[in-house]
Amino acid sequence: MAFGGVVTLRGDREPTGAPSGTAKGDGSIRADEIRRQLQLVLESPDFDTTERNRRFLAYVVEESLAGRSDRIKAYTIAVEVFGRDASFDPQSDPIVRVEAGQLRRALERFYLASGRNDAIHIAIPKGGYAPQFRRNMAASLAAPEGLPVSSTGTFERGRSRLVTVAAACGLVIAATVAVWGYLGRADQPIQPDLPRLLVQRFDDISEPGHSTSIAEGFTQEVIGQIAKFRDIVVISAGPDGNPLTPIPPGAPNSPRYVLAGLVDVDDQKVRLQARLMSRADGAVLWANSYSEDLSVSHLIEIEHDIANQVATALAQPYGAISQAEASRPMVSIPEDWAAYACTLSYYSYRLSLDPATHSRVRECLKEAVARSPTYATAWGLLSQIYIDELRFRFAPDPQDGAASVDRALAAARKAVALDPINIRGLQAEMLALYFAGEMDAAIDVGKQALSINPNDTELMGEVGFRMALAGDWEAGCALVAEARQRNPGPAGYYEAALSLCAYIRGDLKQASTLIRKAPLANNPQYHLIAAVIYGETGDPAGAAEIDWIRQKAPHLYGEAEVRKELAFRIGRQQDVDRFVKSLVKAGLPAAN
């Protein structure tokens, strides 16, 4: 198998049959390797967490290595790490759960950034506090020229652990070099080499095998839901498991991935086991199991619900197929793949919303549409890059002139004209209309796009945030929360949005917790939101946020300036007034 497995160690002892001092996944992991990785994490400036959480991590790792995983409970952590007394009650005091969530997020951010190519990855899975250790098999391979090597995450039963996709997508920014390299070498437009997925008929393993039609129903429903994602080409398989129209393996339009599944039905439950494989070598890139109770749902509803979950896990912008694409081992980047790689680099940029990354991705997408002028997704993402020049005040390309909503809207409408149901194009049109002041029309476009593909959580989060800022906080925030739950991608963006949601409903403790988790240190809007929240809570950190704004975003320093900025993006005057009052409490100079 091409990618590392997850193992849980019990000290220097091993699972049955493993040599002493190692743990078996797809590769063995020694205790001394884990300790070195622990020290690397703890000493890294990119491991952005509190000293208490550093002690938390060191404690659970050492307890696990000492063979005491069964002692890693909320009570022992509270007493031995946090200094609570023997009367501590984990049911009434949630400190360990809260700190564990912050620690998980800090580890995720670390492995999305400087730790992405570390040989060992440490995680604290949800539902417990015992650590897991995974060997990053890709880190041991030589990186192909022009594209750094990345790791592909593994997936747990139930909710897929797709967060590592962000790290893989982040590495694709190197593809911009390839895009610049192929410009000018050919006169004919290049069609982007989108990933192709061969969906085999799901096998019925029920006893006595009377559910063949149900398995076929699952197959067709999954095909239909994945096909709504326009950057994946779905190919149906015949009875022999190969494409209905024969395509030789290795041909330019040959499927790179295969989706297969097993369906089991009895009197009470419907179960689906699905797996995504590399067609080249059969490596399993993703797998998950789904189960629904027949006693509470109709079969058609079950098929639809499970198919939605499969489509989201595989095909969304931060899904398993994008992750696999970002990890493809290539000696050089083919010209027809480079345009698609630019779209992956956009999603990497979305994780940090960093101005330097913005300019690189903008150039990549501009070159992509120049060489692939009918590629609707690239036009839609280029429009969103232009929009960020307006909403985040990122510097535009000097050759383009000043930031322009008209430029963003033109690119969005080009995308929609090329493909009227392209979600990235419709999402871009929504954002362009919103920042042109046409908020109601924008939200109508967003809802229309969401009706086309309700499984696109990247779209869902943006529609929800626009609805909330326009004044429908309850419905909008619910959509953002669902997107955050289902999408492993731009967690910082969602957390910043949800911190505002908590602020609006008066939950200032939750608002403070969420904004502290958002890793958007170079984005001025993040600092503005943080100042709003800290100002209202009386946190001294609010003054530091105002000082950051004074130095790095002077266009936001002052009540008159902020009112103008807020009116640009917020629909209700009462919300603008409320935010300004909180900012003045944080130290923003008030109007005379």
Nearest in space to 196 (alpha carbons), one of 151, 168, 231, 245: 231
d(CA 35, CA 8): 14
Residue 75 falls in which region: left (phi positive, over 0), alpha (psi -120 to 50) or beta: alpha
Judge residue 563's burial from the number of C-beta atoms within 10 Å of its C-beta, 0-12 exposed, 13-18 middle, 19 or more buried: middle
Sign, CA dihedral 502-507-508-512, equals negative
- Evaluate whether 288 touches 307 at the Cβ level (below 8 Å): no
Confidence (pLDDT) at 43: 87
Q: DSSP string spanning 489-529?
A: S-HHHHHHHHHHHHHHTT-HHHHHHHHHH---TT-HHHHHH
3 residue type, one letter: F
d(CA 582, CA 428): 31
445 residue type, one letter: V
Confidence (pLDDT) at 209: 57
Q: Mind listing the pLDDT tens digit of every residue in the chain (592 residues)?
A: 222 333 333 333 332 333 333 333 334 688 888 999 999 999 888 788 888 889 999 999 999 998 888 889 999 999 999 888 888 888 878 888 888 888 988 888 787 777 877 888 898 987 789 998 887 654 443 333 333 333 333 333 233 333 333 443 444 444 444 444 444 444 567 888 899 999 999 998 886 655 778 888 899 999 999 999 999 999 999 888 888 777 766 666 789 999 999 998 887 888 899 999 998 888 899 999 999 887 766 888 888 999 999 999 999 998 999 988 887 766 556 667 778 888 988 988 887 788 888 999 999 999 899 989 999 999 999 999 999 999 888 999 999 999 999 999 999 999 999 999 999 999 999 999 999 999 999 999 999 999 999 999 999 999 999 999 999 999 999 999 999 988 877 778 888 999 999 999 999 999 999 998 876 777 888 899 999 999 999 999 999 999 999 999 898 999 999 999 999 999 999 999 999 999 999 999 987 6
Instruction: Pick 196-315's CATH classification: 3.40.50.300, 3.30.1330.120, 3.20.20.70, 3.40.50.10610.
Output: 3.40.50.10610
Confidence (pLDDT) at 158: 32
- Evaluate whether 178 touches 161 at the Cβ level (below 8 Å): no
Confidence (pLDDT) at 163: 39
d(CA 382, CA 385): 5
Judge residue 315's burial from the number of C-beta atoms within 10 Å of its C-beta, 0-12 exposed, 13-18 middle, 19 or more buried: buried
Q: State the pTM of this model.
A: 0.68
Nearest in space to 530 (alpha carbons), one of 547, 561, 50, 465: 547
Alpha-carbon distances of 590 from 152, 551, 558, 581, 587, rounded to whole Å: 50, 17, 6, 9, 8
In the chain, where the domains are located: 6-140, 196-315
